[in-house]
Amino acid sequence: MRKEFLVFGGPLIGQEEIDEVVDTIRSGWLGTGPKTIRFEQEFAEYLGVKHCMAVSSCTAALHLSMLAAGVGPGDEVIVPAMTFCSSANAVIHAGARPVFADIELPGMTLDPADVIRKITPRTRAVLPVHFHGRPADMDSLSAIAAKHNLLIIDDAAHAIETQYHGRKMGHFGDAACFSFYITKNLTTVEGGMVATARDDWAERIKVLALHGMSKDAWARYSDKGYRHYEVVGAGFKYNMTDIQASFGLHQLEKIEKNLLRREEIWRAYSKAFANFPLTLPPEPLPDTRHSRHLYAVRTKADSPLDRDSLMEELYRRNIGTGVHYTALHLHRFYRETFGYKEGDFPNAEAVGASTLSLPLSPKLSDEDVADVIEAVKESLNK
Ligand SMILES: Cc1ncc(COP(=O)(O)O)c(C=O)c1O
Closest residue CA from atom 14 of ligand 1: 84
Domains recognised in the chain with CATH numbers: 15-253 (3.40.640.10), 256-379 (3.90.1150.10)
Note the pLDDT of residue 216: 64
Specify the ligand 1 atom closest to the Cα of 190.
Answer: 10
Ligand 1 mean position to 46 CA, how many Å? Answer: 20
Please indicate whether residue 58, judged by its CB atom, sits closer than 6 Å to ligand 1.
yes
Please indicate whether residue 157, judged by its CB atom, sits closer than 6 Å to ligand 1.
yes
- Report the residue among 181, 182, 240, 325 best suited for mutation to probe ligand 1: largest number of ligand atoms under 8 A from its CB: 181
Q: Provide the residue type at 104 as one letter.
A: E
Please indicate whether residue 355, judged by its CB atom, sits closer than 6 Å to ligand 1.
no
Note the pLDDT of residue 214: 85
Using one digit for the tens of pLDDT, what is the confidence trace for 25-81?
Answer: 999 888 999 999 999 999 999 999 999 999 999 999 999 999 999 999 999 999 999
Give, rounded to a whole angstrom, the gap between the first and last alpha carbons of the chain.
16
Specify the ligand 1 atom closest to the Cα of 325.
Answer: 16
Using one digit for the tens of pLDDT, what is the confidence trace for 118-171?
Answer: 999 999 999 999 999 999 999 999 999 999 999 999 999 999 999 999 999 999
Using one digit for the tens of pLDDT, what is the confidence trace for 206-220?
Answer: 999 999 998 766 677
Statement: residue 12 has pLDDT above 80? yes
Using one digit for the tens of pLDDT, what is the confidence trace for 225-239?
Answer: 788 889 999 999 999
Ligand 1 mean position to 158 CA, how many Å? Answer: 8
| Residues tagged active-site | 184
Ligand 1 mean position to 85 CA, how many Å? Answer: 8
Please indicate whether residue 303, judged by its CB atom, sits closer than 6 Å to ligand 1.
no
d(Cα 269, Cα 356) in Å, to the nearest integer?
13
Specify the ligand 1 atom closest to the Cα of 183.
Answer: 14
In the chain, which residue ranges form alpha helices assigned H by DSSP? 15-27, 34-47, 58-68, 85-93, 112-118, 138-148, 199-208, 242-253, 255-272, 307-316, 332-338, 346-354, 366-379
